[in-house]
């Protein structure tokens, strides 16, 4: 199910990033009291009263500013407006109504999107009178808030949720495996979809950024039904302002949210770049089953050690997903294309794996016997028992005497032991420590 999008927009330095952090519950966006600090859009999933949505933080809109950086920030904000179902228009109640606010208001009215007007920096009841000045902008009742202290943000979110579109249920059966192909532009995602489908179902062009939307294509293999989601290439943020790709990033992220299995597509000719790691990180954070496809393998000059050398490089460059299987393919020649869907079935099954509690605890006991848990000032970590509390991805709760002693390094050791003992290739796993008294 694609999440609806809510964009926070307004002129520079009205507190958009502070509100973003307040709503998502963590300091994701950089906050400084200097105009223009937010140089690109930031995305995070948020929820209010049971409604989930994707929240976008934007740079300030300065329509009269001819500065090149300001223009790029403005264009990115305009793209966020294009992508959003609901817009939060944030203004500064402390500095009052400005001509720039009027400029932004005209831009938002042209969009035709629902607009919720938030008057920020109303930190004291004595400031409430300034809220009424903003009726002049011509939107519904302005809502006075304080992003810094949280005052009024609940009323703001109530108004946002009222405008969200009705929830649309997925039409796919539970046994259908949804696969998203993600990667930067021109790595061959659409060509891979066409190779799997055996037809030119998705538009393919050598020009980067041809695919502008996420396209669903059903198929069946060996009795298993799939839906392939071909996503627009994710560019580096600094290039997102290009109009031809105005929907690419947000819809690729939406595709990840809808997918069961995500294949990160790399370009075998050009190698790994920093953007590949960022794209893969989106899928890991979402907890999806993941495989890596190195495309255009036919164009690579190689010997009998090349594939192992590239695999080692991938493991080194993607240390956060060493568990993701790697497959070398060519959409152009069809090389190893027949291995992709069986791999999707395998990692999807691992993603949904449920381990009996007794078997799990046997492995944990053997692991703690082999490597003694850490201690601090005479207090040693004890893992009393473990249980699996979720699947997709598998999540394990470890009940311990002191959770603060369950250091990251020992968690990683436990994770490695679980991976050695069970079929967990292609899926992230989550481990949480809980004090037994809780």
Predicted pLDDT at 273: 85
Binding residue ranges: 10-17, 57-61, 120-123, 183-190, 230-234, 295-298
Residue 10 lies in a domain: yes
One domain, residues 329 and 195: yes
- At 244 the pLDDT is 33
The residue assigned the tokens 């699947």 is 391
What is the tally of structural domains in the chain?
A: 3
Same domain, 224 and 334: yes
- In a domain, residue 374? The reply is yes
- 416 prior amide bond cis, ω within 30: no
Answer yes or no: is 80 within a domain.
yes
Domain boundary among 163, 189, 214: 163
Residues 137 and 238 in one domain: no
Q: Which of 290, 318, 351 is the last residue of a domain?
A: 351
Q: Are 427 and 343 in contact (CB under 8 A)?
A: no
Enclosing H/E stretch for 431: strand 430-435
Tokens representing 124?
């004291």
431-438: average pLDDT: 83
Is 172 within a domain?
no
Same domain flag for 276 and 229? yes
Burial of 432 (0-12, 13-18, 19+ CB in 10 A): middle
Range of the domain at 427: 357-435
The answer as to whether 171 is a domain residue is no
3 state SS of 142: coil
**One domain, residues 386 and 346:** no
Residues 6+ apart with CB under 8 A from 156: 88, 116, 118, 143, 145
Assigned token pair, 224: 């298993």
Residues 154 and 44 placed together within one structural domain of the fold: yes
In a domain, 323, yes or no: yes
Please provide the distance, in angstroms rounded to a whole number, between the alpha carbons at the two ends of the chain.
34
Question: Which tokens go with 245?
Answer: 């790709």
Q: Which residue has the higher pLDDT, 249 or 252?
A: 252
Here the tokens at position 73 are 């920030």
Q: What is the mean pLDDT of residues 357-370?
A: 96
Same domain, 319 and 183: yes
Instruction: Say how far apart CA 83 and CA 367 lie, in whole Å.
Output: 49
pLDDT in tens, 109-132: 888 899 999 999 998 777 788 898
**Is 378 contained in some domain?**
yes
Binding residues for GTP: 10-17, 57-61, 120-123, 183-190, 230-234, 295-298
The CA R_g of the chain, rounded to the nearest whole Å, is 24
341 with 362, same domain? no
Residues 149 and 57 grouped into a single domain: yes
Mean pLDDT of 79-92: 85
Whether residues 267 and 362 fall in one domain: no
Cα distances (angstroms) measured from residue 169 to each of 84, 161, 165, 203, 353: 19, 18, 12, 27, 25
Q: From CA 388, how far away is CA 352, in angstroms rounded? A: 12
**This model's pTM is above 0.75:** no
User: Looking at the structure, do residues 22 and 157 belong to the same domain, yes or no?
Assistant: yes
* Residue 251 falls inside a structural domain: yes
Claim to verify: residue 279 and residue 386 sit in the same structural domain: no
Return the CATH number at 391: 3.30.300.20
Q: What is the pLDDT of residues 283-335, one digit of tens each?
A: 898 899 999 999 999 999 989 899 999 999 999 999 999 999 999 999 999 99
């Amino acid at each position: 199910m694609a999440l609806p999008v809510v964009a926070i927009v307004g002129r520079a330095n009205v507190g958009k990033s502070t509100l973003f952090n307040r709503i998502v519950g963590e300091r994701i966006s950089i906050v400084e009291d200097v105009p223009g600090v937010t140089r690109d859009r930031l995305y995070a999933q948020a929820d209010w009263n049971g409604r989930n949505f994707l929240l976008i933080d934007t740079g300030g809109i300065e329509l009269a500013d001819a500065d090149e950086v300001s223009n790029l920030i403005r264009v990115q904000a305009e793209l966020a407006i294009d992508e959003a179902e609901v817009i939060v228009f944030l203004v500064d109640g402390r500095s009052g109504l400005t001509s720039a606010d009027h400029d932004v208001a005209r831009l938002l009215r042209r969009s035709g999107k629902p607009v919720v007007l938030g008057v920020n920096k109303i930190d004291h009841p004595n400031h409430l009178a300034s809220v009424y000045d903003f009726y002049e902008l011509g939107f519904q009742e302005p809502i006075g808030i304080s992003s810094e202290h949280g005052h009024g943000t609940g009323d703001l979110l109530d108004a946002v949720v009222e405008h969200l579109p009705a929830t649309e249920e997925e039409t796919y059966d539970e046994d259908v495996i949804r696969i998203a192909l993600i990667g930067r532009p021109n790595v061959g995602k659409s060509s891979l979809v066409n190779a799997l489908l055996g037809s030119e179902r998705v538009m393919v062009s050598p020009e980067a950024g041809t695919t502008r939307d996420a396209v669903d294509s059903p198929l069946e293999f060996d009795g298993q039904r799939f839906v392939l989601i071909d996503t627009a290439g994710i560019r580096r943020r600094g290039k997102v302002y290009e109009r031809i790709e105005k929907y690419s990033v947000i819809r690729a992220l939406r595709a990840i949210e809808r997918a069961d299995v995500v294949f990160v597509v790399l370009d075998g000719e050009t190698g790994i770049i920093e953007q590949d790691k960022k794209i893969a990180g989106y899928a890991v954070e979402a907890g999806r089953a993941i495989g890596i496809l190195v495309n255009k393998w036919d164009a690579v000059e190689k010997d009998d050690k090349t594939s192992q050398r590239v695999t080692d490089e991938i493991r080194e460059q993607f240390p956060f997903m060493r568990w993701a299987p790697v497959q070398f393919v060519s959409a152009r020649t069809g090389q190893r294309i027949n291995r992709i869907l069986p791999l999707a079935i395998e990692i999807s099954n691992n993603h949904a794996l449920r381990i009996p509690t007794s078997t799990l605890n046997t492995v944990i006991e053997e692991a703690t016997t082999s490597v003694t848990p850490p201690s601090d000032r005479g207090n040693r970590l004890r893992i009393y028992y473990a249980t699996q509390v979720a699947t997709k991805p598998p999540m394990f709760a470890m009940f311990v005497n002191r959770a603060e002693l369950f250091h990251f390094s020992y968690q990683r050791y436990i994770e490695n032991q679980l991976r050695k003992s069970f079929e967990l290739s292609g899926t992230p796993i989550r481990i949480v420590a809980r004090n037994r008294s809780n």
